[in-house]
Amino acid sequence: MKKVLPWLIGIAVLSGLIYTFYFLYKKSQQKPIVYTTEVAAKRDIINKTVATGSIVPREEVDIKPQVSGIISEVFVEPGEIVKVGDPIAKVQVIPNMSSLNNAENRIDRAKAELENSKLEFDRSDILYKKGAMSQQEWQTTTLRLKNAEIEMQNALDNLDIVKEGATKSSGKSAITLIKSTVNGMVLQVPVKLGNQVIESNTFNDGTTVATIADMKDMIFLGKIDESEVGKIKEGMTLLLTIGAIENERFNASLEYISPKGVLENGAIQFEIKADVTIPETSFIRAGFSANADIVLDRRDSVLTIDEKLLQFEEGSPFVEIQIGDQQFEKRSLKLGLSDGIYVEVIEGLSLEDNIKVWNQTGF
């Protein structure tokens, strides 16, 4: 037993050494790389640039009063549809004391002039009938009387305008009733009952009583960076993504590019406008933020591969096509349009070819 024990220990030590050397050898050997493959597919390739902006009506019309005063009635609310001539609000005229005093003084002067002209006419008419006055002198006094009557009527009309905002002949409501001048939807009514408003005139824009727009005629109003503006032109197609409307895209046609840029946040931005096509089933609110993909070029349903599969040799692109178990051969390609992820293959590949993923990781 004592003679066998050393042999057993020696065999165990030798076995341990052999296993250690075998383990280290296997560990030092690199595992063979097993390449996976992918195939080409039919896709739409779209080369695009992005602009940010919002959806707004093409035209927004501000409705303003014809006279200054106080809002006594408001007939509409935002969201209502109105037509030309529909009442928006009503103004109660508050006369200016200085203008009122001048108008009353004008009436007094016109009244005195009219009374004097009547007396002169009565005297002249008696003399003319007796043959003591020429026809020319009689016509002069008659004309003076008519002018005095016209001035009296003008003075009365002026007083009506100062007090009521309109003459009795034109009708008070013709001026004090604010009406819509266009067809469309009321976007906002910034005034409330009792608010003071100012008429629109040469020296003042006037108070906006309501804003109306045609919500069926919408445009995309956005800005694009100077580095991209040289790539676009009028007539290009835009694909709009609206943040408030999920899973839906809208088509638009670029119709305006500003000739002058504006410095914003350290970059020159150019304004663009595009006509938006809105389906009958959709309603887009004014001011929705949107991103526009401007299509610079596109290919529909063409043979494409992932750009990660491409390799280059002296500037020429090629891929490796599987011809056997982990055996590949080079295949030169003629490429077309790229969107940065997928690229169009014009020549050199078919849908049945298995393409080597040469830059794979994790294997």
Mean pLDDT, rounded, for 274-284: 88
Residue 212 tokens read as: 């109306």
Is 70 exceeded by the pLDDT of residue 7?
Answer: no
Q: Which residues of 90-110 are buried (b: 16+ CB within 10 A; e: fewer)?
A: bbebebeeeeeeebeebbeeb
Helix (H) / strand (E) element for 160: namely helix 135-164
pLDDT digits (tens, 9 = 90+) for 33-79: 777 888 888 988 888 888 899 999 999 999 998 888 889 899 999 99
Q: Average pLDDT for residues 69-90, to the nearest whole number?
A: 92
Distances (CA, A) of 178 to 62, 122, 185, 198, 207: 12, 47, 16, 12, 12
245: number of Cβ within 10 Å = 17
> Which residues, listed in sequence order, are joined to residue 120 by a DSSP beta bridge?
none
What number does CATH give the domain 60-93+171-213? 2.40.50.100
pLDDT, one tens digit per residue, over 214-241 is 998 999 999 999 988 888 899 988 889 9
Domain residue spans in the chain?
Answer: 37-44+300-356, 49-57+215-298, 60-93+171-213, 97-164
Say yes or no: domain 97-164 is CATH 1.10.287. yes
Residue 254's pLDDT is 93
What is the topology classification, in CATH, of domain 49-57+215-298?
A: Elongation Factor Tu (Ef-tu); domain 3 (2.40.30)
Q: In CATH terms, are 49-57+215-298 and 60-93+171-213 the same topology?
A: no
Residue 146 DSSP label? H
Q: Is the pLDDT of residue 174 over 60?
A: no
What pLDDT does 2 receive? 57
pLDDT at 167: 60
Fold of 37-44+300-356: 2.40.420
| Residue 327 token pair | 């055996």
**Pairing, β 177-179 against β 81-82:** unpaired
Q: Are strands 87-92 and 196-197 parallel, antiparallel or unpaired?
A: unpaired
CA distance 119 to 151: 17
The pLDDT of residue 19 is above 50: yes
pLDDT of 251 higher than 50: yes
- Average pLDDT of span 303-316: 89
